[in-house]
Amino acid sequence: MKPVIFGTSGLSLTADEAAFFRDADPAGYILFARNIADIAQVRALTDSLRILHGRDDLLIMIDQEGGRVARMRPPVWPAFPPGSAFDALYEIAPASAIEAARTNAQAIATTLRECGITVDALPLLDVRQPGASDIMGDRTFGSDPMRVAALGRAVLDGLKRGGVTGIVKHMPGHGRALVDSHLELPHVDADEAALAIDLEPFRTLNWAPIGMTAHIVYAAWDNTLPASLSPTVIQTVIRDRIGFDGLLMSDDLDMKALSGSVPELAAGVVAAGCDLALNCWARMDEMIGIVNALPDITPRARERRDAAMSHAATPTDDAPLDALLAKRDAFLALA
């Protein structure tokens, strides 16, 4: 198995993709809107990936946050609210906000599980700071670390109830970035005391099964390399200070924050301490280069992958989707 998550190009696997993926044996896959048409089609795609590898516990992930980040959209699937909706409710009714976030996450998981998707890139534990780039904005649970952690915990719980594993992101915190890391490399100059605020939700939820790194330079820890490529940030901050021992993946290697070829970056994030590299765009030449550049997955990374995929292997609550949405909406109406 190679320590990488790959994208696929369309609504079904091409013959070339099937042959390549069978031989390369990546640790998992990520789906985007280009892979999504309807429930039956997505289920057929995810089933074909499981059959290809002979693994029922295959990591198949998606970014289904709600709000502006949603790959599965109406009219086939419900529209889900962004994180800011739960932040606003928490302001007046914390317990109701926590239950709304949990119920919303379970509803998301119910739609994903039906399609054979096993992992969602949610929750964001980024603590929003004044003046930061709007790339986080309404996606976050706000600017109070305790609130972010409480709502993040509820999301992880709700996803698990619905049979889907969550990913906490973006370690060690994207809330201070002044620019969008999809477009350029952010530099955060905050000192250790300020950055402790950013770490707090991740420390509180350091038992999460999967985490995702941020493509950001934190001058207080490593003034040269972004976190995804920094052994210092990954080991000293994420593993030691936060105490996170789950499966750690990079953010997408194709984001403009990073420079260098995609295969070089894949090798770099794994060498720095990420368990998995994330490559989203299904470009065959890049994927071949990545496989050639990467070693096999380490035994410890494989253990973490296996633990993450067993975390929510079976739904624990079979509440109907309509009932979950109605319950969530009743809570959100309070705000």
**pLDDT tens for each residue of 152-181:** 999 999 999 999 999 999 999 998 987 777
Q: What are the tens digits of pLDDT across the range 61-87?
A: 999 999 999 999 999 999 999 999 999
Q: Which residues contact 242 (CB under 8 A, 6 or more apart)?
A: 171, 172, 199, 202, 203, 206
Does the active-site annotation cover 311?
Answer: no
The question of whether 296 is a catalytic residue gets the answer: no
Residue type, 331: F
Predicted pLDDT at 13:
98
| Rounded CA separation 22/212 (Å) | 26
Q: Examine the pLDDT at 182 and tell me if it is beyond 80.
A: yes
Residue % of the chain over a pLDDT of 90 = 91
Which band of pLDDT confidence, cut at 50, 70 and 90, is reported for residue 132?
A: confident
Asked if residue 257 lies in contact with residue 186, where contact means CB atoms within 8 angstroms, the answer is yes
Q: How confident is the model at residue 135 (pLDDT cuts 50, 70, 90)?
A: confident
Beta strand ranges found along 109-257 (DSSP E): 119-120, 165-171, 187-188, 210-213, 217-218, 247-252
**Confidence band of 97 (pLDDT split at 50, 70, 90):** very high
pLDDT beyond 90 at 183: no
- From the candidates 53, 57, 182, 317, give the one annotated as an active-site residue: 182
Per-residue pLDDT at 326: 98
For residue 275, the model assigns a pLDDT of 98
pLDDT at 133: 74
pLDDT in tens, 11-23: 999 999 999 999 9
- The answer on pLDDT for 205 being more than 90 is yes
How is residue 307 written in tokens?
A: 């633990």
User: Cα dist. 17→13, 24, 206, 269, 288 in Å?
Assistant: 6, 10, 36, 24, 11
Determine contact, residues 242/234, Cβ cutoff 8 Å.
no
- Over its C-alpha atoms, the chain yields an Rg (Å, rounded) of 19
- What integer pLDDT is reported at residue 334 of this predicted model? 94
Given pLDDT bands bounded at 50, 70 and 90, which one contains residue 137?
Answer: confident
Catalytic residue selected from 63, 120, 144, 251: 251
The pLDDT score that the predictor gives to residue 110 is: 98
How many other C-beta atoms are found inside a 10 Å radius of the C-beta of residue 57?
15
User: Could you give the 3-state DSSP secondary structure of residue 214?
Assistant: coil
Between the alpha carbon of residue 135 and those of residues 179, 182, 184, 214, 313, the distances in Å are 8, 9, 12, 13, 32
pTM here?
0.96
pLDDT over threshold 90, residue 255: no
Q: What is the CATH number that goes with domain 2-332?
A: 3.20.20.300
Closest CA to 46 of 157, 166, 160, 164: 164
99: Cα within 13 Å, side-chain hemisphere: 13
Helix axes 94-114, 83-92, angle to 10 degrees: 150
Q: Given the structure tokens 């939820």, which residue do they identify?
A: 205
Strand-pair category, 59-62 with 119-120: parallel
- In the predicted structure, residue 117 carries a pLDDT above the cut 80: yes
What's the whole-number mean pLDDT along residues 276-285? 96
DSSP string, 218-234: ETTTBSSS-GGG-HIII
What is the residue whose two structure tokens read 């005391």? 193
**Domain extent listing, the chain:** 2-332
Q: 3-class SS at 216? A: coil
